Structure 1
């Protein structure tokens, strides 16, 4: 038998389902302040890095030139001499996604040391995009980036 109470209970249940659906279907907006990025000769814009909460954090610019057969420590110094730094692992992923053609199919040092082995640092292989740790005294390639932090 159908009762008024049963109809009200079903109505409440349907209303909750509608509210849940509307919540999941809501859109998210990302706004990046209109920023003009001036690139020097040979620089390439790589893209935007998001912060921990998914908010825009900073832009990455790839600097011209590359070092070959260089240890991790020397690679960091080389990047600093050019007014930049070695890219982080996240930045290397962005570079692989957006500027892969700017790299040889080779191993490139990142700025990050390996978490469990102080004698190792992370690198990215720009042929397949994989990242692994390797001995800091090994000689790989290096590229430098600069960061434009959003205000």
Structure 2
């Protein structure tokens, strides 16, 4: 059994007080998001702001109106380009699920990202429950395209 002394309690109390002071001294983070007028074309939907790896606003994400059904990955990439967009990145798919899930079928959709350890696979996301996984290029999934407005 460990004996607790008044000196040990005071030492621990001083340590906690120092932690509280250090926490309170931390500077607040301010995000600057420039004002933007975003024009949506008919059928487009605003998904939100995508953050970069450091947590800074990187771009506004716009979901384009069309959808491709039953496409392998390479055809999905080509289709998205043909309508003036790109397949969304994995993080963008999460944002789309959070903000615009009602605009998707409850199915798997291709992302633009390849699997880093397996060159024959690309990432996809289900809009049934939001999970992500990877599929072989030849797998038939749905596709949606996005466009990005860079925040400067």
Q: Name the TM-score class by shorter chain.
A: 0.7 to 0.9
- Structure 1 CA distance for aligned equivalents of residues 50 and 115 of structure 2: 21
- Structure 2 CA distance for aligned equivalents of residues 96 and 123 of structure 1: 12
DSSP 3-state at the match of 2:130: coil
DSSP 3-state at the match of 1:22: helix
- Structure 2 CA distance for aligned equivalents of residues 145 and 97 of structure 1: 15
Regions of 4+ moved over 6 Å: 12-15
How much is the aligned-residue C-alpha RMSD, in angstroms?
Answer: 1.8
- Structure 2 CA distance for aligned equivalents of residues 13 and 59 of structure 1: 44
Which among 20, 23, 27 is matched to residue 22 of structure 2? 20
Deviation at 1:51, TM superposition (A): 1.2
Alignment of 1:1-151 (within 5 A): 16=18, 19-24=21-26, 26-151=27-152
- Structure 1 CA distance for aligned equivalents of residues 16 and 63 of structure 2: 53
- Structure 2 CA distance for aligned equivalents of residues 135 and 20 of structure 1: 49
Deviation at 1:16, TM superposition (A): 4.8
- Structure 2 CA distance for aligned equivalents of residues 72 and 65 of structure 1: 16
Count of matched residue pairs: 139
Deviation at 1:54, TM superposition (A): 1.3
- Structure 1 residue runs of 5 or longer lacking an equivalent are 1-11
